[in-house]
Amino acid sequence: MECKIISTRRSKSAFTLIELTVAAGVGFSVLAAMVSLFFFSTRSFAALTNYLELDQKTQAALDRMTREIRQMKALTACATNSITFQDQDAATISYSYDTGAKTLTRTMGEAAEIYLTSCDSLSFSLFNRAPNGTTFQPVSTTSAASTKAVELAWSCSRVLVGSKVNTESMQSAIVVVRSK
């Protein structure tokens, strides 16, 4: 009688060390890419939200100031960082920029209201009634009595995650004082 030797070897279904190392490397790479994408998306969303809020606030301040300046009776005083008007009721309204606090404040009588914060620079410029004959641009003036238009120009920014990346808003407008 013949004896058959039956193999008791079973096929093993385990991973080899190389396969496990490759799988872990691919898994960590995918995980690192997802975490990187998450942080990039979060930072981008925060920057976009910050920029949108800053732009809305600067636009609202410009709209309010434009509406008010158009209604003024006379310009009484002007400097590079402050301007004072007299309204139709003879009340004094002034807008002033504080370089230290980086704020634009509107003052009427004793009441003060902050129109802008995080303002890096702000300037007021005065223009004469008659435009320049060749370019139709108003002529610059220093006299409050001859001022027909006021230019408002500012730049605001915020620090977001340690830097001023994509957080700056600039506004500029020439506003005509209608009652002059």
Q: Tell me the CA distances in angstroms from 16 to 13, 22, 25, 69, one per residue in order.
A: 9, 10, 14, 79
Domain ranges of the chain: 17-176
> What's the pLDDT score for residue 147?
82
* Ranges of the chain with pLDDT below 50: none
> What's the pLDDT score for residue 37?
95
> What's the pLDDT score for residue 132?
62
> What's the pLDDT score for residue 53?
85
Using CA atoms of 84, 175, 141, 137 in order, give the dihedral in degrees to the nearest 10.
180
> What's the pLDDT score for residue 100?
92
Per-residue DSSP letters for 12-78?
--PPPHHHHHHHHHHHHHHHHHHHHHHHHHHHHHHHHHHHHHHHHHHHHHHHHHHHHHHH-SEEEEE
> What's the pLDDT score for residue 114?
93
Backbone CA torsion sign across 141, 143, 145, 149: positive
* Residues shown for the chain: 180
- Contact between 164 and 127 under an 8 Å Cβ cutoff? The reply is no
Tens of pLDDT, residues 75-88: 898 888 899 999 88
Please, which residues have CB within 8 angstroms of residue 51's CB and are 6 or more apart in sequence? 166, 167, 169
> What's the pLDDT score for residue 103?
92
